[in-house]
Amino acid sequence: AAGGLTVCLVRRSVDPNELQPLVDEIVANGGKAVPFGGFDATKEDDVKKLVERVENEVGPISCCVYNIGAQVGNRPFLKISARLFELCWRMGSMGAFLVAKEVSKRMIDRGDGGTIIFTGATAGFRGNSGQAGHAMAMAGRRAMAQSMFHELGPKGIHVAHVLIDAMIVSPDTAGKFWDKLFKDDSSRSSISYKDFVAKRTATESIVLPSGIAESYWHLYQQPRSSWTFEMDLRPWTDKAWFHA
């Protein structure tokens, strides 16, 4: 929004109050934002209707960010149900496919290119204990993005996959899963999510959405001669997953 784009915020929930505070914040800072509630990215009809509405009511989509996660908490492999495993795939891979396909078709037809960014996770590179569904879904997203990069790049569409190898300040991610993910971790069981975030934010040792946005904006502005496919983001205090 700070760069002049109109930001279209999308949620599956139909409750407008969940998006309005962020819309108000963006507008208060001089930007433009439009909320779109009630769209499920795992349903093809919903995706088609959403893209149609955005293009007709706001304008041509020049940058699309698929930011839906597939984290359902720690689930032992022998206990995760087929329904939940499939849900991980639908959120992590199927939804990413549906959104990217519908948006890229528009970009190709216009002939003016565009940018599609997938938010990835450490699970897409390393399957951890209790994370079979999450790892499968995110690895599928990354593999699809690789294929898209090679196929759509020559058509003028920049596809990028961004690994967020750390905890993000967000009540919808770590805030919801704090107790479930870390209940057996003695180093974190005695501190609340709120206190943990406050401490990490003060030392810039947790990922802030504003920092992610700056990196995504950089990808959006990259010249065609120097396109990045994969980028890692983590705080300056954290080791990379492959050194942990």
pLDDT in tens, 216-232: 999 999 999 999 999 99
Pairing label, strands 157-164, 63-66: unpaired
pLDDT in tens, 69-124: 888 888 889 899 999 999 999 999 999 999 999 999 999 999 999 999 999 999 89
Min mean pLDDT across 38-47, 126-135, 158-167 is at 126-135
Cα–Cα distances in angstroms (integers) from residue 118 to residues 98, 160, 173, 230, in the given order: 13, 6, 16, 10
What's the CA angle centered on 238, arms 159 and 1, to 5 degrees? Answer: 45
Q: What is the pLDDT of residue 185?
A: 55
Handedness of CA 147, 150, 155, 161 (dihedral sign): positive
**Residues, the chain, total?**
244
Q: What is the CB neighbour count within 10 angstroms for residue 201? A: 12
pLDDT in tens, 49-78: 999 999 999 999 999 999 998 888 888 898
Domain map (residue ranges) of the chain: 39-167+208-233, 169-206
Pick the CATH number of 39-167+208-233 from 3.40.50.720, 3.50.50.60, 3.40.50.2000, 3.40.50.2300: 3.40.50.720
pLDDT in tens, 184-193: 555 555 677 7
Whether residue 44 contacts residue 99, with contact meaning beta carbons closer than 8 Å, is answered with no
CB hemisphere CA count around 157 (13 angstroms): 27
Instruction: Tell me the chain's radius of gyration from C-alpha atoms.
Output: 18
